[in-house]
Structure 1
Amino acid sequence: METGPWQCESKGMSPPRSIRWVIVGNSGSGKSTLAERLGQILHRPIYDLDRVHWQPDGRKRDEADARARVAEIAATDAWIVEGVYGWLAEVALVRATRLIWLDIPWDACRAGLLARGLRRGMTVTDQNDLLAWAQDYWTRTTSSSFTGHERLYRGREGASAHPRRRGCLRTVITLGAGRWIPREVRAFNPAPAPPARPDRTSGPPRRHRAGG
């Protein structure tokens, strides 16, 4: 049953008033796209953790300062926070009402990264470094990896999991009461995946914006 621009999971339910959502996933998985869609239909502000982690001149922000900025965002009434940085997402999760984890295959993530081109002052070398870093999402063990995001998922006390394997959306987790899930989350799909897996790009990541 649909009500307005959204679909409720249970008949007669309406969208929750307290929308404080965190979206995590690999670079190129579609976090920014999904956040923008949800922000438009829910009329909530969107916060990109890239813009917290990185300063405008491309330098990394002091970690304590970055955490404080996310805590300030999380203290407000309603928001949608998206990003790959698990250590920052964890700060917002203290007050989050929903966690959305996009576990998207590498080919689709790569296609998404290539489709958006060079942005925010990125060079071709920066893009190649980002592709290499994103491809290592499933092998590294930092907070900004598959392992790190899984820890966020598993570590939420009282979280009830709602597996969503339609398309490529892996899991939606509700933190607290309520089972409302918007239609845009149900139907979300990243960019089509290319047919072949790319060669491994070597070299450590340079300054880049991880993005969605």
Structure 2
Amino acid sequence: MDVAQFEVAPLSTESAPRFLLIGRLLGDKGVREYVQAAEQVKQRYPLVQFDLVGWIDANPNTITQPELDRWVAAGTINFLGRLSDVRPAIANSSVYVLPSYREGTPRTVLEAMAMGRAVITTDAPGCRETVVDGDNGFLVPVKDADALAQAMLRFIEQPELIIQMGQRSREIAEEKYDVHKVNAQMLAGMGLD
């Protein structure tokens, strides 16, 4: 990933935290858990915002349009649709969330990290490699909306964590995932540096 393409975006401290999930609207991406956690959090903190970027596709595990419509009508989530450039959505967020059941290395998490965002993701293969629990975000169990809500509440009730963990995310993205460093390490490993 070219970290330079994703500049650190300043965090807004003037309003309640804003959470963001980007992905295909599939059950396996943890979209339903995200919404369930949002419902729990909004009972205590109704001003907190939950953005969702993505699209419905033909997968049998897809979120249905009526489900999505209910969530939007209830005010649980702000549906932003499919975006060709996710950087503005990440810039408007405080914390990036990916409650996926399984991933490769999730690109959206790396993009959010590069832009200086704290992350909540699952302790699942692929996801767990991006977050050091308690350092640049929190890891939660797969399919556990309650644990996800608790992690969100920690950021709401300790907003300094948003800034501290966001800074660590950027550092980790630069150290571990920047394409230029990865390529240099590969070339050195092959004796071609």
- Under TM normalisation by the shorter chain, which class is it? 0.3 to 0.5
TM-score by length of 2: 0.36
Structure richer in helix, relative to its length: 2
TM-score by length of 1: 0.33
